[in-house]
Amino acid sequence: MSFIYNFFISIFEILLRLNSNFNEKNKKIVLGRKKTINYIRNKIGEQEIIWFHVASVGEFEQAKPVIECIKKKYEHKILVSYFSSSAEDAIKKNKKVDFHFYLLSDKSNQMKLLFDLLNPRILILIKYEFWSNLIYHAKLNSIPIISISSIFRKNQIYFYPFSFFKNILKNVTMFLVQDETSMSLLNKIKIRQVKVIGDSRYDRVLNIFEESKNIAGIKEFVNNKNTIIIGSAWKSDIEKIKNEIIRDLTDTKYIIAPHNINNKEIEYLENTFINDTIKFSELPQKNVRKRILIIDNIGMLSSIYKYGKIAFIGGGFRGALHNTLEAAVWNIPVIYGYHKNNKKFIEVGKLEKEGIGFPIKNGNEFKLIKNRIFKNRDIGKGGNEFIINNSGATEKINDYLTKYLK
């Protein structure tokens, strides 16, 4: 089975390289991986490190509070490897991260090379990151492998009868999972090294909430009007709700932060809402009487939610819903596109149960729920208390990690 796995990983790598000729994100991954080995040799060498691996920005957000805790208590160097190009900018800017690189393709020879070069004290995997050869070579080198904020569903490949992939999980030293369901699923395939800890993202959004600062120009743009923050928006989100925004004859303001902040996305928004937009970079020089503010700066969104009465979170219609907690912590209702795949985010189900989260299928439903919330200000409140009640995972994770870090 390992031969078949390595074969498919090789095929995936070939397809990634071919696609990189047409896709900028994949091009960054391919070029980034080419630099990884030299980066390790020149920057890291034989220094002892704490190695975190994340898929993308979302998983890095889960890792952040754990990294910050480690840095407060110890002098260990922190390495973060990643797969997605979207994670690169966020990780580069983080002063707690000492080293970072694109993880090489998960082929046995490439993972062997990584562990020949690196000296990790521990390997920490965030959420879903279970790469067979990465885990195998870590275990071969007697390196503890800890999975944190992980979550499992019964339809995942690990739980199929006779699945090769369940053997990958058996090599993990400890799973610190988000919920009882995940522990039960692992127990059913005879994995007992499991503790229910919770999700460190709750701690992360509380930190952001507590440390948030005012952003010059936003308050003036809002001007005490009802404001809807459309965060991490994809084109598919805007296409669903654009007519309702255009037809909105009230004095409601809209702040749109595209998921991908680039000229193409910004031009799309300007052309969609002709003569009705202003970019953040143009404040305060231009007239703030425009109804729609386009965020063209990276790293602001989590603090912008404080200025809204409602948040619409992007990615939902694609089944890849972005962070709902960042908005909910500000005690505002959260709207997002419906897709069956969004059920994999357990916080989404919790938010809906608490009357804070509202899935919609089309623009008309967006209009109806928006109007209902503006008429009844009590709808969708309670997000801050909900997040406080679910916080505390970071402290538990770091208590467990202590024996590996002393």
CATH code (residue 320) = 3.40.50.2000
Query: Is residue 284 over pLDDT 80?
Result: no
CATH code (residue 100) = 3.40.50.11720
Torsion of the alpha carbons at 94, 315, 313 and 391, rounded to the nearest 10: -50
Say which amino acid occupies 396. K
Give a yes or no: residue 219 inside a domain: yes
Same domain? For 173 and 189 the reply is yes
Same domain? For 46 and 136 the reply is yes
- The answer to whether the pTM exceeds 0.75 is yes
Give a yes or no: residue 356 inside a domain: yes
Same domain? For 141 and 59 the reply is yes
Give a yes or no: residue 19 inside a domain: no
Give a yes or no: residue 64 inside a domain: yes
Residues contacting 392, CB < 8 A, separation 6+: 198, 202, 203
8, burial (CB in 10 Å: exposed 0-12, middle 13-18, buried 19+): exposed
Query: Is residue 4 over pLDDT 90?
Result: no
Tokens of 115: 């562990």
pLDDT tier at 216 (50, 70, 90 boundaries)?
confident
Same domain? For 153 and 295 the reply is no
Query: Is residue 174 over pLDDT 80?
Result: yes
Give a yes or no: residue 18 inside a domain: no
Which residue's entry shows tokens 């770091």?
398
Same domain? For 191 and 77 the reply is yes
Angle between the 2-19 and 132-140 helix axes, to the nearest 10 degrees? 130
Same domain? For 241 and 175 the reply is no
**Containing structural domain, residue 339:** 208-389
Same domain? For 331 and 397 the reply is no
Give a yes or no: residue 189 inside a domain: yes
3-state secondary structure of 337: strand
Same domain? For 115 and 218 the reply is no
Diameter over CA atoms, the chain: 65
Give a yes or no: residue 30 inside a domain: no
Same domain? For 191 and 216 the reply is no
Query: Is residue 1 over pLDDT 70?
Result: no
More confident position, 164 or 306:
306
Query: Is residue 287 over pLDDT 80?
Result: no
Say which amino acid occupies 46. E
Give a yes or no: residue 81 inside a domain: yes
Rounded distance between C-alpha atoms, residue 355 and residue 383, angstroms? 9
Q: What is the mean pLDDT of residues 77-87?
A: 93
pLDDT, one tens digit per residue, over 302-353 is 999 999 999 999 999 999 999 999 999 999 999 999 999 998 899 999 999 9
Same domain? For 151 and 60 the reply is yes
Same domain? For 379 and 257 the reply is yes
* Domain count across the chain: 2
Same domain? For 220 and 176 the reply is no
pLDDT, one tens digit per residue, over 318-327 is 999 999 999 9
Residues contacting 368, CB < 8 A, separation 6+: none
